[in-house]
Amino acid sequence: MGAAERLTVPAGGAVVVDDVGIVVGVADEEWGEVVSAIVVRNGECSAEELIEFARVHLSGPKTPKVVIFVDELPKTGSGKVLKRKLRDRVDLHIQSEV
């Protein structure tokens, strides 16, 4: 599982890479593990719209079952995304819906 990035090329020509989302596997009783997406909100897209878009463009097992929006992705001092924190957040989200 990995991060999604947005590439932009400002007038100066340097490429800027922003982390805009990440997918993590989360334990699931029925399937063993399911895909969950944590996305930095940019606009007015809903979780349902993102899941439907993924369903059209990805195979079933790669389609997120849960989408959570965040203001920013938690990172280490060196800039790596803290996937464990995100998995914990998804677990809490799923438990709160049960």
CATH assignment at residue 78 = 3.30.300.30
Note whether 56 and 34 are within 8 A (CB): no
Does this model's pTM top 0.95? My answer is: no
Return the structure tokens found at 80. Answer: 């790596």
Could you report how far apart the first and last alpha carbons of the chain are, in Å? 25
Q: Count how many domains the chain has.
A: 1
pLDDT tens across 31-55, in order? 888 889 888 887 788 889 989 988 9
Per-residue confidence (pLDDT) for residue 77, from 0 to 100: 92
Short-list 43, 42, 44, 86, CA closest to 66: 86
Mention every residue, 6+ apart, whose C-beta is less than 8 A from residue 16.
7, 8, 9, 10
Q: Where in the sequence is the domain holding 54, given as residue range(s)? A: 3-97
